[in-house]
Amino acid sequence: MRAALSELSEDERMFQDSVRQFAADRVAPLARTMDEAQQMDVGLVREIFSLGLMGIVTPEEYGGAGGSFFDAVLAVEAISAVDPAVGVLVDVQNTLCANAILRWATDEQKQRYMPRLAAEMVGAYALSEAASGSDAFALETRAVRRGDDYVLNGQKLWITNAKEAGLFIVFATIDPAAGYKGVTAFLVEKGTAGFTIGRKEDKLGIRASSTCELIFSDCVVPAGQMLGEAGKGYRIAIETLNEGRIGIGAQLVGLADGAWGHAARWAKQRKQFGKPLAEFQAMQFQLAEMATEVEAARLMVYNAARLRDRGVDFVKEAAMAKYFASQVAERVASLAVEVFGGSGFVKDYPVEKLYRDAKIGKIYEGTSFMQLATIAKLTLGNL
């Protein structure tokens, strides 16, 4: 489906087109194999780095593209139309990891990590725990000061990019009695003694995207690896997750757009009762409704991203965009399966995968209920 071109500059359209072409040429042929293997293709990840897609928001001084947050949203959307699992790899790298380090890291930390994150190092964002999902700051992972170091003990769950990542932004509490004011962020490299990657989850969708547990057992992290200030981790988490929700919204818009495209093409070529499905008014109306919902979700995501880039408040718009895009992605992907009929229920066609991929949109980076709570607070509070 054609994007809302009136919302894009010429440079943005060219960038989006180039990412779409890459997704069609290089991601699409690997999508089914990666899904079945539950593993990201290593060569594809290298290509994504070489194209600069893992360093879109990273300034040129650190070897990145020096692009905007909106550019990252365009890339995530374009890739996710082909494979949302690859889309979330690019999304987490740009909207969570790079953004958090750019905003909160010391100059020395930026010099050490930003060039690598742009060139070859995957990042991961480690906040969730068994008892800490929607209640994001009910953390049990502890960080205890010992001389010039902190000793981390605990477990993280459902960490995206964990298998591929070389750097993890890890949230732990330095004072459980202080509640959210004890939460502190640390930069922990893969291979640090006492830190291991645990079980990889066997997921319903986005199966090529690794989701693993992290285990910290007397993991010694130098105090110089703290990200931001002690006890300020909650601010890092809140700010970056608000932005990350826009990225997930883009992933879901891309997914829905991809599903719609498959359904529309199928309706034009599949014949019943002597004519293509697309010539039946009922099918036309269904595809028209799907197209309208995708476009509405896209404009909400674009609006939230534009507001973020302009430096104005966007929290409500980000919550609305993420919530609505997740609704649209699941509905459109489901209807796409129905357009395909029996063929849509088998793995030979991509709509089956996109339907599975869509479900996570209502769950991660803030459940739909949490988005509604935010929306209610920020709208009803003004009455």
- Expressed in angstroms, the distance from the first to the final Cα of the chain is 38
**SS3 category, 357:** helix
pLDDT tens digits for range 258-288: 999 999 999 999 999 999 999 999 999 999 9
- Partners of 168 in the β-ladder: 124, 188
Q: Quote the CA–CA distance of 367 and 296 in Å, as a whole number.
A: 20
pLDDT tens digits for range 149-169: 999 999 999 999 999 999 999
Q: Provide the pLDDT for residue 1.
A: 53
Output the furthest CA–CA distance in the chain (Å, rounded): 79
Superfamily of domain 124-231: Butyryl-CoA Dehydrogenase, subunit A, domain 2 (2.40.110.10)
5-122: which CATH architecture? Orthogonal Bundle (1.10)
CATH number of the structural domain 235-380? 1.20.140.10
Q: Quote the CA–CA distance of 261 and 255 in Å, as a whole number.
A: 10
Q: At what angle are helices 351-358 and 84-91 packed, to 10 degrees? A: 40
pLDDT tens digits for range 212-228: 999 999 999 999 999 99
- The secondary element (H helix, E strand) that includes residue 153 is strand 149-160
Average pLDDT, the chain: 96
Q: Quote the CA–CA distance of 111 and 78 in Å, as a whole number.
A: 30
Entry pTM: 0.96
235-380 shares the fold of 5-122: no
- Which residue type, as a one-letter code, is found at position 340? F
Those residues with Cβ within 8 angstroms of residue 58's Cβ, 6 or more apart along the chain or in another chain: 64, 65, 66, 98, 102, 114, 117, 118
Question: Quick check: 84 and 251 in contact, CB under 8 A?
Answer: yes
Give one DSSP letter per residue of 45-112, joined into a string. Answer: HHHHHHTTTTSSSS-GGGTS----HHHHHHHHHHHHTT-HHHHHHHHIIIIIIIHHHHHHS-HHHHHH
Structure-model confidence comparison of residues 204 and 135, the more confident one? 204
Q: Provide the pLDDT for residue 5.
A: 43
Mean pLDDT score, 110-134 = 94
Q: Both tokens of residue 206?
A: 């986005």
Per domain, the residue ranges of the chain are 5-122, 124-231, 235-380
Q: How, if at all, do strands 183-189 and 226-227 pair?
A: antiparallel
Q: Which residues are catalytic?
A: 365
Q: Provide the pLDDT for residue 132.
A: 82
For the cut 50, the answer to whether the pLDDT of residue 370 exceeds it is yes
Q: Provide the pLDDT for residue 108.
A: 98
Question: Quick check: 227 and 104 in contact, CB under 8 A?
Answer: yes
Q: Provide the pLDDT for residue 135.
A: 79
Please report, for the chain, how many H helices and E strands are present, in that order. 12, 10
pLDDT tens digits for range 295-316: 999 999 999 999 999 999 999 9
Q: Quote the CA–CA distance of 214 and 8 in Å, as a whole number.
A: 40
**SS3 category, 308:** helix
